[in-house]
């Protein structure tokens, strides 16, 4: 079920949500090879997950394809590094900036500096909470509230509204962590028999996800019936923790995830994960299409929403996974 309203940060205005067909994000783009000397700065959040690395690959490959001179900065999970990278791009007078903001807040000053320098900013995959949304040209991202709701509704149906749940949250303060939690918690609130035993951050990575799941299993092994991870990497970490505790992931404890990478879908096919909501990382073509449109004077919708789909045993097999683009 899709929410009637976009995520919180867009509620201040009726942003036109442009539905992008997933296939369009997977590679068909209007770009050509003539980057006409375009210089673009890409301030990436880090390399914490397979999803993040797939996004980086998509943007770098699209820059190469279009002959764009891409300046890349990996913030290694630190907002201060990302802000410094944006300032460096401004100092280099790049033609545009692509930003995947680690967290929602703390961007007003540096985005004002970019605006004052006349450099458009395209947000990819995560939004920002700023006082003036003219500080960025557009956000190309999934609807994380919907993703969380899709997982919660799937679990409610699968369990007839009865589950004792461990939730592994993403990076504190990150838009996907905030909104995937909101969507899921809202969905299960409709079912008194669905209760959260614990909800803790695993930082979107496999090691931390396993570590947190091990600690929570020590407290809840006797009651937990499902684990909901905000991304595949933490879900795979939880699978390892469950197996180490002598439990069968996907059977003794249901495992649910978001992202849709090959490793998680392989685990789904072999029954160790039960439900994966896709969150497309292949945003390169649309990011550079957006930059081209901005440079031609077009005003873009504040949010270009990427449609997501849900995978489970009814619609996923080994052949399907083998042909996935990431």
169 lines the binding site for ligand GZL (CB under 6 A): no
Is residue 278 close enough to count as binding ligand GZL by CB under 6 A? no
Q: Is 259 one of the binding residues for ligand GZL (CB under 6 A)? A: yes
Least Cβ distance, residue 39 to ligand GZL (angstroms): 25
Query: What are the E-state strand segments in 36-174?
Result: 39-44, 69-74, 96-99, 121-124, 138-142, 163-169
Integer Cα distance of 263 and 267 in angstroms: 6
The residue within the footprint of ligand GZL, chosen from 279, 282, 294, 321 (CB under 6 A), is 279
Residue selected from 62, 125, 185, 278 as contacting ligand GZL according to rule CB under 6 A:
125
CA pair distance 286, 305, nearest whole angstrom:
11
CB 19 within 8 A of CB 305: yes
Of 209 and 250, which has the nearer Cβ to ligand GZL?
209
Here's the x/- map for ligand GZL, 178-217, by CB under 6 A: it reads as --------------------------x-------------
Of 20-28, 46-54, 284-292, 293-301: span binding ligand GZL (CB under 6 A): 46-54
Which C-beta is closer to ligand GZL: that of 31 or that of 176?
176
Estimate the crossing angle of helix 232-244 against helix 262-269, to 10 degrees: 40
- Per CB under 6 A, the list member of 29, 35, 48, 86 interacting with ligand GZL is 48
Q: Does 52 bind ligand GZL (CB under 6 A)?
A: yes
**Coil, helix or strand for 169?**
strand
Q: Is 146 in the site for ligand GZL (CB under 6 A)?
A: no
CA distance 276 to 261: 9
CB of 89 to ligand GZL, least distance (A): 20
Interacting residue with ligand GZL among 146, 201, 231, 316 (CB under 6 A)? 231
Q: Compute the distance between CA of residue 254 and CA of residue 267 in angstroms, rounded to an integer.
A: 12
For the chain, the residue count is 326
How many residues bind ligand GZL (CB under 6 A)? The answer is 14
Residue 49, interface with ligand GZL (CB under 6 A)?
yes
Nearest residue to ligand GZL, using CB? 51
Shortest separation between residue 10's beta carbon and ligand GZL, angstroms: 15
Sheet holding 96-99, edge to edge: 69-74, 39-44, 96-99, 121-124, 138-142, 303-306
Are 88 and 110 in contact, with CB atoms under 8 Å apart? no
Any contact of residue 104 with ligand GZL (CB under 6 A)? no
Contacting residue, 51, 107, 228, 303, with ligand GZL by CB under 6 A: 51
Record the tokens describing residue 177, joined without a space.
């962590």
Give, in order, the Cα–Cα distances in Å from 76 to each of 35, 49, 81, 217, 251. 28, 11, 8, 29, 36
Q: Kindly list the residues in this chain that would bind ligand GZL in the complex (CB under 6 A).
A: 48-49, 51-52, 125-126, 141-142, 176, 204, 231, 258-259, 279
């Amino acid at each position: 079920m899709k929410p009637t309203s976009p995520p919180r940060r867009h509620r201040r205005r009726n942003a036109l949500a442009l539905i992008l067909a997933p296939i369009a994000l997977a590679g068909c783009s209007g770009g050509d090879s003539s980057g006409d000397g375009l210089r673009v700065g890409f301030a990436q959040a880090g390399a914490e997950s397979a999803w993040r690395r797939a996004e980086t690959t998509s943007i770098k490959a699209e820059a190469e394809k279009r002959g764009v001179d891409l300046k890349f900065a990996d913030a290694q999970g630190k907002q201060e590094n990302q802000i410094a990278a944006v300032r460096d791009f401004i100092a280099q007078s790049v033609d545009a900036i692509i930003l995947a903001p680690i967290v929602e807040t703390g961007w007003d000053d540096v985005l004002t500096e970019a605006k004052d320098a006349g450099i458009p900013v395209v947000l990819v995959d995560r939004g920002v909470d700023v006082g003036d949304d003219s500080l960025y040209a557009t956000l190309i991202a999934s609807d994380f509230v919907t993703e969380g709701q899709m997982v919660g509704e799937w679990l409610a149906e699968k369990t007839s509204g009865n589950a004792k749940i461990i939730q592994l949250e993403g990076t504190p303060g990150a838009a996907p962590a905030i909104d995937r939690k909101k969507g899921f918690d809202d969905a299960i609130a409709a079912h008194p028999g669905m209760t959260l035993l614990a909800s803790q951050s695993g930082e979107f990575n496999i090691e931390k996800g396993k570590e947190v799941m091990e600690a929570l299993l020590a407290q809840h092994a006797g009651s937990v019936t499902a684990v909901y991870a905000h991304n595949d990497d933490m879900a795979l970490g939880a699978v390892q923790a469950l197996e180490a505790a002598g439990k069968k992931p996907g059977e003794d404890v249901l495992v649910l995830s978001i992202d849709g990478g090959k490793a998680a879908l392989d685990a789904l096919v072999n029954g160790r994960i039960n439900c994966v909501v896709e969150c497309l990382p292949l945003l390169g073509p649309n990011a550079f299409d957006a930059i081209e449109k901005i440079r031609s004077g077009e005003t873009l919708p504040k949010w270009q929403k990427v449609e997501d789909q849900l995978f489970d045993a009814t619609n996923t097999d080994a052949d399907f996974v083998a042909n996935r683009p990431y």
